[in-house]
Amino acid sequence: MTSSINARAALLSLIILFIGLGIWEALNQPPPSTEALTEYELMMGSSDSEARVPPPSAVLGRAWEELSNPFYDAGPNDKGIGIQLAYSLYRVLLGFFGAAVIAIPLGFLIGMSPLMHKALNPFIQVLRPISPLAWMPLALFVIKDSELSAIFVIFICSIWPMLINTAFGVSNVRKDWVNVAKTHELSQLKTAFLVILPAAAPTILTGMRISIGIAWLVIVAAEMLVGGTGIGYYVWNEWNNLDLISVIFSILMIGIIGMLLDMALGVVAKLVAYEE
- The domains of the chain are located at 2-53, 81-272
Residue 39: its pLDDT value, please? 53
Mean of the pLDDT values across residues 253-265?
A: 94
According to DSSP, the residues that pair with 79 across neighbouring strands are: 73
Mean of the pLDDT values across residues 100-117?
A: 92
- CA nearest neighbour of 107 among 173, 171, 187: 171
CATH 1.10.3720.10 is right for the domain spanning 81-272: yes
d(C-alpha 214, C-alpha 195), whole Å: 30
Residue 42: its pLDDT value, please? 47
For residue 84, how many other CB atoms are within 10 A of its CB?
24
Residue 276: its pLDDT value, please? 64
Inter-CA distances, 264 with 122, 201, 208, 255, 257, Å: 33, 16, 11, 14, 11
Single-letter code of the amino acid located at 82: G
Residue 31 — φ and ψ, nearest 5°? -65, 160
Q: Is the pLDDT of residue 263 over 70?
A: yes
**Using one digit for the tens of pLDDT, what is the confidence trace for 7-23?**
888 889 899 989 988 88
Inter-CA distances, 80 with 67, 72, 123, Å: 8, 5, 42
Which strand (E) or helix (H) includes residue 64? Answer: helix 56-68
Q: Is the pLDDT of residue 91 over 80?
A: yes
d(C-alpha 152, C-alpha 158), whole Å: 10
- Report the predicted TM-score, pTM, of the whole model to 2 decimal places: 0.84
